Amino acid sequence: MKLEDAFLYLELNGSVAGGDMPAVCAAAIEGGVDVVEVDGARMDDGAVRELAAACHGEEALLVLRNAADLVAETEADGLRLAAGSDDIGLARVTLGEGGFIGMTTDDLDEARLSLEIGADYLVHRAGADCAGDFAALRFEARVPLFAAGFDGVEAARRLMDAGVFRLCLTAASADAAELREQAAAYARLLGRCV
């Protein structure tokens, strides 16, 4: 899987039911998720390697949040930083040739700044405003833009009707079966058979 081919992104925040992160991620990927993001600060090298193996075995990408060293030391695929972070240069040096760097943005100005400083992709948390912001960026952005901050499948459908075609789901706690079903609902919305 290449980042450019990813359309459904999952940001896992918090706990995982039963503590089995690889099983939860595998369920989400089975539901149609292309990219799984977790908090790298909460994981050690072994856990990241195990999770990377689970993601790669299902042809998905693994992104760590705010853990450039861990991305560089493991098989994780990428890193995500906060909007406009001045750490992107240091992160690029740490990652070397491998890995991509994304940024979280909340508005059009942050998105433009993140693109200007070299983000490889954006997770844009503007909710319903994502469509307008993405339209404004259509000539500037040559990287994947994932819409986040929307509330439910119907809100995502309205975004897609307005021209958005990459979505980011956020899960505060995860149960494998529930996450598989949630991911599958969004994957179907994106026109995928799951």
The string of pLDDT tens digits covering residues 128-173 is: 999 999 999 988 899 999 999 999 999 999 999 999 999 999 987 6
Count Cβ atoms within 10 A of the Cβ of residue 165 and give its class: 0-12 exposed, 13-18 middle, 19 or more buried. Answer: middle
Q: Which fold has domain 3-152+164-189?
A: TIM Barrel (3.20.20)
| Weakest mean pLDDT among 10-19, 62-71, 79-88 | 10-19
Q: How confident is the model at residue 86 (pLDDT cuts 50, 70, 90)?
A: low
Specify whether the backbone of 113 is left (phi greater than 0), alpha (psi in -120 to 50) or beta. alpha
| Weakest mean pLDDT among 29-38, 39-48, 56-65, 81-90 | 81-90
pTM, whole model, 2 decimals? 0.94
DSSP letter at 45 equals H
Token reading at 27 = 């369920």
Per the CB < 8 A criterion, the answer to whether 91 and 68 are in contact is yes
pLDDT tens for each residue of 101-128: 999 999 999 999 999 999 999 999 999 9
